[in-house]
Amino acid sequence: MKLSCSLLILAIAFSPLPLQPLAAQVSPHPPSAAAKDAFIRQIMEDVGIPGLQVAVVNRDKIVWSNSYGDAVLDVPGPRRAMNGHDLILTASATKLCVTIAALQQLEKVKLALDDDINRSLPFPVRNPNWPNVPITWRMLLTHTSSIDETPEDLYRALFYWGKDHPLAFDDYVKARFLPGGKYHADLFRSGKPGSERIYSNDGFSLLAFALEQVTHESFDAYVRREIWTPLKMNETSYSLAGLSPDHLAVGYGAERKADGTFSFVPAKVFWGHESASGTIMDHQESYPDYPVGRTYTNATEFARLILMFLNGGTVDGARILSPASVDMIFTPSGYRNLDGWKQGIGVNGPLDLRGRQVWGHDGQGEGSVSALYVNRETGVGAFTIANSNLDESQNYSLVDLDMHLMAWFEDSAAEVPRLAQSAPLASATSDHRQLQTTSDDKAAVEATVRAYEEAVQVFDFARADSLLAPSAKWIERSAPEVAAMGEAAGFWAEASATKVRVRNEPHDFDIHLQGAMAWVTLLVDVTMVADNERARALLARSETEETGKPSQPDQREWRATYAESEVLLSTPNGWRIALGHTSRLPTKPN
């Protein structure tokens, strides 16, 4: 049987998320300073933001920063305009420091991403529904550990205002993770660790706690010495102690009025249900699990993390991470969040205004929102932070503002140098040519894979075979039923004749280039639909052959989920598929 025939079930035509047309989305001419200010103030007015800070990085320096609105309103007063030194609670963007600290220990060979986290804990942590399945560092960093999001009633019970929380971080973790602990209820989901992405603050708390065991010091002390001090983030703090009220912003809840404008209620009142009286310090929120969201910082200091990410882990001669570790953070894990954004190692991956991949983290808390994103292709990144929250509208608005800021400050396409890959450009085709990879190569690789899958979808095996390299192989021992189904007597011819239709829903499509080789991965849900009696009989027969169990005689659909990986080579006739592997994933329970 031809190679392409054996892949019909899984190499269904892939339609990647559409890239937004460049000209339709972004003007080639950046707006004037007045136009930028007007755009930003309009966002603040539309979603209810009293005060905002922004900072933009272009490669190796902060090229623009500004502050808007008020850091403190009349309550608690006195009203004070926002300035660049005011400190605002970052919320979940703080988790970037947990990720950086974990990668630093990985570089020192103190841990491995696929190690059982229990190797670094003083007590065991396992999902009781899956007691024999280890929870790994990678699972925690990608929110796939099966540890659930912290219950809302627990958050509310831990609200604390005016000073650092009396419950120590370590004591919170023990109360949450030890069986019988005060906060242990509702900790795990029923799914198997590693099987689904569920955002988890407590998962990152466990990471920070484990890092304390690895480094033998508090997480606060470690981050200050190994990350913030070398990055010159001197005003940034996990703790309220020692901070001046003159440099603290107050958080607010935004309440939309009937006329569409907003009133602002101090977070201490809006969420904490406490008195509006008190000083600026009395209105500062604190909670025990500080590594996951309690960093007091400003835009220009926190943007120094962007400088580090865009310069291979080094800023002003201080190396925070190796280039390989930075690459690892921004490598897709194969999972996506509920917005469809890719999940990296501790970071999210939406698309920018021009449809290109960017990476970072945003956050929202009781009275603050923030967003930090970088585009490694253009060397531009942005951080925005505001002192109000209501719902996710403020959060998404700051992500959108980041995208606009990056578009405004990136160079023209002709002036943007391609960032060098940390791995050496190597490998060669049959004539041993060494190639410099470009965006054109990436587009050509994608076009080849897409063309192959489109050809297979419509049973055009001659076209599919023409896109294979000489001596191409497909490894599919992990899914033998696929080959068996494809080899069933006359299956593909009959499927074509009976007009079986194929439908797919891709979850991921990633391309990594190195010289004259490309690696492609794809996760896809496949549905074969039978619209007539003969087609339904064919699907029923195939289902029986695959599972060994009788199927419904009136089989109308056949569904499966597959993970694919392909290796392509650059040949004189363009990129060609040389090696592939397919795995059928377990069927999700209804």
The residue-averaged pLDDT of 152-157 equals: 89
Tell me the range of 30-34, 154-158, 163-167 where mean pLDDT is highest: 163-167
336 and 473 both lie in a single domain = no
CATH number (domain holding residue 484): 3.10.450.50
Query: Of the candidates 387, 215, 207, which has an alpha carbon nearest to the alpha carbon of residue 289?
Result: 207
- Pairing between strand 574-584 and 468-475? parallel
Which of 355, 384, 411 is a domain's end point?
411
With 70 as the cut, is the pLDDT of residue 478 above it?
A: no
200-210: per-residue pLDDT in tens?
999 999 999 99
The verdict on residue 24 lying in a domain is no
Which of 391, 411, 431 is a domain's end point?
411
The verdict on residue 23 lying in a domain is no
Query: Which pLDDT belongs to residue 400?
Result: 94
389 and 493 both lie in a single domain = no
292 and 313 both lie in a single domain = yes
User: Is-above-0.85 flag for pTM?
Assistant: no
211 and 247 both lie in a single domain = yes
Query: Which pLDDT belongs to residue 426?
Result: 28
CATH number (domain holding residue 212): 3.40.710.10
Number of domains in the chain: 2
502 and 449 both lie in a single domain = yes
With 60 as the cut, is the pLDDT of residue 265 above it?
A: yes
The verdict on residue 590 lying in a domain is no
Confidence of residue 431 (pLDDT cuts 50, 70, 90): very low
Query: Which pLDDT belongs to residue 490?
Result: 58
**Dihedral angle sign, alpha carbons of residues 376, 236, 83, 400:** positive
124 and 232 both lie in a single domain = yes
Our measurement of the distance from residue 329's CA atom to the centroid of its chain's CA atoms, rounded to an integer in Å, reads 10
Which domain range does residue 546 map to? 5-18+423-584
Query: Which pLDDT belongs to residue 419?
Result: 31
447 and 361 both lie in a single domain = no
400 and 490 both lie in a single domain = no
With 50 as the cut, is the pLDDT of residue 66 above it?
A: yes
384 and 439 both lie in a single domain = no
The verdict on residue 183 lying in a domain is yes
388 and 456 both lie in a single domain = no
Tell me the range of 142-151, 409-418, 457-466 where mean pLDDT is highest: 142-151
With 70 as the cut, is the pLDDT of residue 155 above it?
A: yes
- DSSP assignments along 255-312, one per residue: EE-TTS-EEEEEHHHHTT---S-S-TGGG-EE-S-GGGT--EE-HHHHTHHHHHHHTT
The residue-averaged pLDDT of 227-244 equals: 97
The residue-averaged pLDDT of 42-66 equals: 96
With 90 as the cut, is the pLDDT of residue 156 above it?
A: no
The verdict on residue 179 lying in a domain is yes
**Whole-number Cα distances in Å, 457 to 8, 13, 445, 530:** 7, 6, 19, 14
The verdict on residue 522 lying in a domain is yes
116 and 244 both lie in a single domain = yes
The verdict on residue 72 lying in a domain is yes
Q: In degrees to the nearest 10, what's the CA dihedral of 471, 474, 475, 477?
A: -120
- SS3 category, 575: strand
575 and 466 both lie in a single domain = yes
Average pLDDT, whole number, for the chain?
82
Query: Of the candidates 74, 22, 14, which has an alpha carbon nearest to the alpha carbon of residue 412?
Result: 22
Spatial distance between the Cα atoms of 53 and 61, rounded to a whole number of angstroms: 17
The verdict on residue 113 lying in a domain is yes
Which of 411, 433, 449 is a domain's end point?
411
For 433, residues 6+ apart whose C-beta sits below 8 A from its C-beta are: 516, 570
